[in-house]
Every structure is written in structure tokens, then in C-alpha cells.
Amino acid sequence: MADILATAAGEAASPVPGYPMPRDNRCPFHPPETVRRLTVEEPISKVLIWDGSTPWLITRHADQRTLLTDPRVSIDEKRPGFPHMTRGRAEVARVTPPLITNTDAPEHTRLRRMVNLPFTVKKVEDLRPAIQKITDDLIDAMLAGPKPADLVTALGLPVPTLVISELLGVPYEDNEFFHHQSTIALSHNSSAEEAAAASTALLGFLDGLLGQKMTAPADDMLSQLAARIKAGEMTREEAATMGVAVLIAGHETSASMIPLGTLVLLQNPDQLAVLRDTDEAKVVAAAVEELLRYLTIVHTGVRRIASADIEIGGQVIRAGDGIIFDLGAANWDAETFPEPGRVDLGRNARRHQAFGYGPHQCLGQNLARVELQVVYSTLYRRIPTLRLAIPVDELEFAFEGIAYSLRSLPVTW
């Protein structure tokens, strides 16, 4: 990532800062220093991205809320000037059919209604006992296995992967294949060809499963999508693309939150004790919101484009200008969250924007919340002596994806 930025910034010889900005290795949880300075000094400013374009960067919590709900702010990634995350994403966007992640209202509202049922609070609460069992079984296996254990492969990745596979109706046995392809499809380190090939492989995989569900439906989301294809409400390509989006978003994100949240708590034992010693669902829920705020794993900004001129904060965003919302900056905006660098599980962090804001706010947020509530409230209670097995400065972070993560988290007890 640093290389991409160095090249882009060098070529343009511009005072505009490159984006995304590298983090300080000494405090990897903190949003980059430049982003935090911009939040205070220049909350609506320009940045330079990989293709040499200079979209706006919006950093303040309040400005993000205003713009992310403004109908003149579009997510139509086919518009020229859209600030794509990478060259690979730009290539894939050209051929992606209409989807909840690239359409505005009213089309977005229509498409989102087709897929939101499994993610309502009620449906997700029904899954809580199954998520608890998955978590307990994985912790049993970890305790029975060798020490140290890697929390990423023992718990972080399998919990959300098992849950989303079950919910969608994707065979869990294929997890290595789809995790590998998702990582390539989203990585800043992949070439455009690699990203496109990974996306095609995932689409083919989901398309094959949809074919099976059309003839032999089951009680899962892909079967619901298959029924919509049969009813003529969706094309098969749209349904497969939707399946890919849910599969990727549904496992990569919680998989990164579980080990990262654990690391934060191991470094803040007084806060870990809050979670370990409570029986109150409200306390656990508040803790999860604070960890979501503090970590803000979606670290490369959510992307939009202006469809008309917009005046805000003394600036004019012109029609056709790209806009990037740095969610970490908003979640560390001291005007909304005083002392943002302090992890305080007792704070009211509900207004965080780790799931985005506005019509495209995360479809899977209720599911992610329950997964994190179950895992965090079970792990430290069942293994009260859990600790890092290597010095913290030897841990390796992965910043090349849409959500940042730990490559591994060796723990012992």
C-alpha cells in the first residue's frame, strides 16, 4: 500500500495528501495522524488516490451524516470520476450488474428489500443459540489442542464463516476456496487481472449453487434468491453477485473484529474484566459498540460521487466529484466521542459509523453484533487466563484489504 501511495504522490508532485494514509506502526489501532489532523483543521479537503484523481475526503462525524443521507450523493460506481478503491475494483465495477452496493434509491430500496429479511433483529436473534454453540465448540477444540493457538484460525475466521455459510446455504467445506478468492478480490496488492479472476471464480461458484437451489431449494438465503430468479424478479447474474457480496462481507469483517478486539482487551485488562465479569446483555452490547468504534476496521473509506453541486462547510462539491468518507476519522472525532483514543467499554458509542450511515448502512450489522457479543462474552469467561503468546510488537497486521486485520494472534492460557 505504501508503494502505491509513494508512486501516486510522486507522479502528481502535489501537496494534496495521498489516500489511504499509512498508519503509525507503534499505534496501529489509531487512524493515521494526517487523517486526525484533517478532521480538526480541514474536515472537507482533497486527497490523491491511486489513479491520480483527487476526490474529497470527509472526516467529521456530523458532515458524514449530512452527506451520506443526501440524495445528491450517489453510489453509482459506473459514473466517470467515481473514486474506486483500487484498479481491480474499477475494472470489476464496469461489469457488475445492479446491486445494493452500486445503486441509489429507488432501485436500491427495491433491491435491499429483497435481501434484508434474514438480517432483521428478530431473525438474527433466532440464530443466537446456534452462534453460541459454534463458539463453544470451537473454544472446546482450541482448549483440547496444542498451545499456543492462533485465535484467527481457531475462532476469528471459523465463527462468522460457519454462520454465513449456513445462512446463505454455501457448503462450509469450500471455505478455503472462497476465503482465498475473497482476499484476492479485495486486496490492494492484487493486480486488476487477479482481482477480476477472483471475482469471476466467486461468481461461478455462487451461480453453480443457485442452479442447485433452483431445483432443490432448502431453508437458506440462496434458495430465496433462486425463487426470485424463477419469479422473474432478479436475473441469475444479479442473484449470484448478491450472493458473492454477502459471502465476502459476511465472513471477512467479523473475522477481523474477533482477534483485533481480543488484542485490544488483552492490552486493557481493566476493560477485559468488564466483559469477563458481567452477566448483563446490555453491558456486553455496549462493549461491542465501543470496540466497533475504536477499531473501525473498514479503514479505506466508503466511496461515493456527487450527482449535483453540493455546498457544505464553506466548500462546493461539484457534480462529478468523487467523495470518500473516512469512517475511522468520524469515530475518532472528539466532538462526538471525547477522548477517542481511550477504550471505554462503558461509554455510549451507539452513534459510531463503523457500519457506515444512511441507506447503505451495513446490511449485516445485526448479525455482526450478535456474533461479536457471543464471542467476546464467552471467550474471556471460559479462558480467564488468556494471554498473548508472543510480544505485541511481533504481531503482524494486514492493511491491504477493505477491513484491516491481524494475520495471526498467537495466544496461550
How many CB atoms lie under 10 A from the CB of residue 25? 8
Is 289 catalytic? The answer is no
Does 39 contact ligand HEM by CB under 6 A? no
- Across the strands, what pairs with 44? 58
For position 367 contacting ligand HEM by CB under 6 A, the verdict is yes
Catalytic residue chosen out of the listed positions 196, 249, 255, 349: 249
Using the rule CB under 6 A, give the single segment among 20-28, 246-254, 281-289, 339-347 that binds ligand HEM: 246-254
Nearer to ligand HEM, 1 or 85 (CB): 85
- Give me the residues paired with residue 377 across strands: none
Q: Where are the beta strands (DSSP E) in 192-292?
A: none
Sorted by sequence, the CB contacts under 8 Å of residue 7 that are 6+ apart come out as none
CA 375 to chain centroid: 18
Stretch that binds ligand HEM, among 196-204, 211-219, 243-251, 336-344 (CB under 6 A): 243-251
Contact with ligand HEM (CB under 6 A) among 19, 355, 380, 404: 355
Side by side, which strands form the sheet with 149-150? Answer: 149-150, 410-412, 387-388
**Measured distance CA(190)–CA(184) in Å, rounded:** 6
Question: Considering only residues 93-112, where is the footprint of ligand HEM by CB under 6 A?
Answer: 100-101, 112
Residue pair 17/56 in contact (Cβ under 8 Å)? The answer is no
The one among 356, 389, 395, 399 contacting ligand HEM by CB under 6 A: 356
Strands (E), 328-396: 387-388
Cβ proximity to ligand HEM: between 99 and 411 the closer is 99
User: Taking CB under 6 A as the rule, does residue 257 contact ligand HEM?
Assistant: yes
Residue 208 CB contacts under 8 Å (≥ 6 apart), including other chains: none
Q: Which helix (H) or strand (E) covers residue 174, if one does? A: none
Size of site (CB under 6 A) for ligand HEM: 23
Tell me the window of 29-37, 212-220, 334-342, 363-371 that interacts with ligand HEM (CB under 6 A): 363-371
Using the rule CB under 6 A, give the single segment among 44-52, 253-261, 263-271, 388-396 that binds ligand HEM. Answer: 253-261
Closer CB to ligand HEM, 294 or 380, in the complex: 294
Active-site choice (165, 182, 223, 254):
254
59 burial (CB, 10 Å; 0-12 / 13-18 / 19+) is buried
Task: Give ∠ CA 310-316-322 in degrees, rounded to 5.
Answer: 75
Q: Is 249 annotated in the active site?
A: yes
44 binds ligand HEM (CB under 6 A): no
Strand (E) or helix (H) holding 165: helix 158-168
**How far is the C-alpha of 165 from the C-alpha of 216, rounded, in Å?**
17
Residue 373 within binding range of ligand HEM, rule CB under 6 A? no
**Separation CA 346–CA 72 (nearest Å):** 37
Can you tell me which of 154, 360, 376, 388 binds ligand HEM, judged by CB under 6 A?
360
Among 20, 43, 250, 340, binds ligand HEM (CB under 6 A): 250
Q: Is residue 186 close enough to count as binding ligand HEM by CB under 6 A?
A: no
Q: Which amino acid is at 199?
A: S
Q: Among 49-57, 90-98, 241-249, 392-400, which window interacts with ligand HEM (CB under 6 A)?
A: 241-249
Nearest residue to 65 (alpha-carbon basis) of 392, 353, 269? 353
The least distance separating ligand HEM from the CB of residue 383, rounded to whole angstroms, comes to: 22
Residue 334's closest CA among 26, 32, 63, 60?
A: 60
What character string, x for contact with ligand HEM (CB under 6 A) and - otherwise, covers 297-336?
xx---x------------------------x---------
Binding site for ligand HEM (CB under 6 A): 100-101, 112, 245-246, 249-250, 253-254, 257, 297-298, 302, 327, 354-356, 360, 362-364, 367-368
Active site residue ranges? 249, 252, 254, 362, 371
